[in-house]
Amino acid sequence: MIQAPLKTVGIDYPNPGETIATGDYSFRISAPSGAKEVRLSIDDGDWKPCRKDDGHWWFDWTAQAQGEHIAVSRVIEADGSLLVTQPRLFKVQP
């Protein structure tokens, strides 16, 4: 039996529970090579587009609100199918 390759999708950075400083931060998201679009939502906000560079997708964010936050990314593949990451909890402190 031949199995299809596992599709890897996930938020690489920040790590689960990681504390990041206020200011500029870049989330790194892994997605299948055929992904046509990746978006990120923080705290159930709007889905913001990510940029592709160096084999990963990136979301540049300016962290202002201190405390705990949750990020979720979604990947739209070339065939239109949707993959969604597990929520990623992280903290922001000065």
SS (H, E, C) 4-66: CCCCCCEEEECCCCCEEECEEEEEEEECCCCEEEEEEEECCCCCEECEEECCEEEEEEEECCC
Q: What is the DSSP letter of 94?
A: -
pLDDT tens-place values along the chain, 94 residues long: 444 444 678 999 999 999 999 999 999 999 998 899 999 999 999 999 999 998 899 999 998 889 999 999 999 998 999 999 999 999 999 8
CATH class, domain 10-93, is mainly beta
Neighbour tally for 27: CB within 10 Å: 22
Q: Could you tell me the pTM of the whole model?
A: 0.86
* Sequence spans of domains, the chain: 10-93
